[in-house]
Amino acid sequence: MNQRRYGLMFLTLWLVGAVCSDSLPRTEAGFRIPTTHPEFTFPRDHGSHPEFLIEWWYITGHLRNADNQRYGFQATFFRYAMTPYGPETFAPFGTNQLFMAHMALSDIDGNQFYHEERLNRDGWDAKADTDDLDLRNGNWTLRRTDGETMELRAGIRADIEFEFQLQPLQPKVFFGKDSVSRKGADPSACSWYITFPRLGVSGTLRQDGKNIPVTGEAWMDHEISSSQLGHEQVGWDWLSVRMADESELMVYILRDVAGNPDPHSTLVWIDPAGQLHAVGSDQFEWSESGSWTSPDTGATYPIDVRLKGVRPDGSPFDFAVKPLMRNQELVGELGGISYWEGACDIYENDQPVGEAYMELTGYSESLEDNL
């Protein structure tokens, strides 16, 4: 009897020690915080990380048909945890994870903007695989098919359908110092930020009952975090650019309630080999040169932008960000957040030098309570 009792006590102490030995940083609610020098393993880390509060897979790109008509597209899959992940908290049918997804198409020549938003719970009509890139929200899917090639299948209401193959043209990169992208002074305001800066896109767009072959290039972000903003921040301005010289640029401006940029705002150059050159907010200038006010939400977005700074080789740049359409606002119809996300061209000395997508958030309402 005593041997059994002591054995049970030893096992109990061992289990408690094993649980307490988890020294990973966590939020007060129990969600993991991204750590430095992560040991990413692919394809597993292309998949879901349910021990973190927030995660998204974000694709934006420019397309052309055979007649050189232009389109922009966005496909986003969000995962939001309602409880910290663990065997003791698992329950089926929608009590652990919420899945939101956004699809948008900008028909540039037709001056039409299409978008749709979905919200589903785990165990019902959405999922995010933890072992590989395999996402679903209703009949919208994003999956890895071979190597790091991906397939996107989606549509927008009864108006639009598309099926795209996405092939990396350059290596994936990891933003941030020691692979942690800082978003604020709060230690939890950070993310693991994995990006394919240049994807070749080919496939079919179905519009007005017609199948339209299209090709182009896209950018893909996969961010994993438990807090994307500090307590004083209300939103961000974000820009991704694929330059004509095969380099890329990414910049985010984190704004406080007065519109001032947070010191953790960052600009990063990416060379064709995937080498990064990052600078802080004191080394570039982001300024508004024109705005657009939404007739749906009343929010005013600074959609005409000048971006100035110095390239990694020391030469100055002065870019004009010009939206291809004014109205590219995604209105949060399911209780979500409204924001502007649109296809743009980049000009320098009045000449086009790149294609871009710009995201403007926190202009209709603060994001801090949501992220």
The pLDDT tens digits for 110-140 are 999 999 999 998 878 999 999 999 999 999 9
pLDDT over 60 (residue 5): no
Strand partners, 321: 305, 346
User: Could you tell me which residue, 91 or 207, shows the higher pLDDT?
Assistant: 207
Residues 13-67: pLDDT tens digits? 333 333 333 578 899 899 999 999 999 999 999 999 999 999 999 999 999 999 9
Residues 6+ apart with CB under 8 A from 282: 263
Segment 177-193 shows an average pLDDT of 90
What distance in Å separates the CA atoms of residue 199 and residue 196, rounded to the nearest whole number? 7
Domain ranges of the chain: 48-360
User: Looking at residue 231, what is its pLDDT?
Assistant: 64
Of the candidates 355, 273, 305, the residue with the CA atom closest to the CA atom of residue 61:
355
Residue 92 pLDDT more than 80?
Answer: no
Give 257-285 as a DSSP string: TTSPBPTT-EEEEE-TT--EEEEEGGGEE
Question: What's the confidence (pLDDT) of residue 299?
Answer: 95
**CA-closest candidate to residue 79, choices 61, 94, 60, 89:** 94
The pLDDT, as a whole number, for residue 184 is: 82
The whole-angstrom separation of Cα 226 and Cα 199 is 27
Q: For the segment 275-333, what is each residue's pLDDT rounded down to a tens digit? A: 999 999 999 999 999 999 999 999 999 999 999 999 999 999 999 999 999 999 999 98
Look at 228 and 156; give whichever has higher pLDDT. Answer: 156
Per-residue pLDDT, 370: 55
The greatest distance separating any two alpha carbons of the chain, rounded to the nearest whole angstrom, comes to 87
Partners of 243 in the β-ladder:
354
pLDDT at 166 over 80: yes
pTM value is 0.90
pLDDT digit string, tens, across residues 67-88: 999 999 999 999 999 888 654 4
Tell me the pLDDT band of 369, cut-offs 50, 70 and 90. low
The SS3 call for residue 2 is helix
Report residue 318 CA to chain centroid gap.
26
DSSP string, 92-154: TTTSSEEEEEEEEEEETTTTEEEEEEEEEEBTTTEEE-SSSSEEEETTEEEEEEETTEEEEEE
Q: How far apart are CA 16 and CA 152, in angstroms?
A: 44
CATH number for the domain whose boundaries are 48-360: 2.40.370.10
Distance CA 316, CA 329 (A): 32
Q: What is the pLDDT of residue 364?
A: 84
Residue type, 96: N
pLDDT value of position 14: 34
Residue 93 in this model has a pLDDT that exceeds 60:
no
- How many whole angstroms separate alpha carbon 354 and alpha carbon 371? 30
Report residue 10's pLDDT band, with 50, 70 and 90 as the boundaries. Answer: very low
Please answer whether residues 352 and 345 qualify as being in contact, where contact means their C-beta atoms are separated by less than 8 angstroms: yes
Q: Which of 276, 102, 257, 143 is nearest to 197 (CA)?
A: 276
Of residues 9 and 353, the one with the higher pLDDT is 353
Residue 227's pLDDT is 82
pLDDT in tens, 224-283: 999 867 667 788 999 999 999 999 999 999 998 888 888 999 999 999 999 999 999 999
Q: How many CA atoms lie within 13 A of 16 on its CB side?
A: 6
User: What tokens does 269 get?
Assistant: 């150059």
214: pLDDT confidence band, cut at 50, 70 and 90? Answer: very high
Tell me, rounded to whole angstroms, the distance of Cα 170 from its chain centroid: 18
First to last CA, the chain: 54
Cβ(311)–Cβ(340) below 8 Å: no
CB 231 within 8 A of CB 213: no
pLDDT for 340 equals 97
Bridge partners (DSSP) of residue 205 are 162, 212
Nearest-angstrom CA–CA distance, 324 and 4: 74
pLDDT of residue 113: 98
Residue 3, pLDDT score: 39
Distance CA 45, CA 144 (A): 12
C-alpha–C-alpha distance, residues 255 and 363, integer Å: 10
89 backbone dihedrals φ, ψ, rounded to 5°: -105, -5
Residue 167's closest CA among 217, 242, 221, 133?
217
Buried b (16+ CB within 10 A) or exposed e, 234-252: bbbbbbbbbbeeebbbbbb
Six-digit token string for 263: 């010191």
Q: Tokens at residue 191, please?
A: 């993310």
Dihedral Cα 117, 224, 192, 76, nearest 10 deg: -20
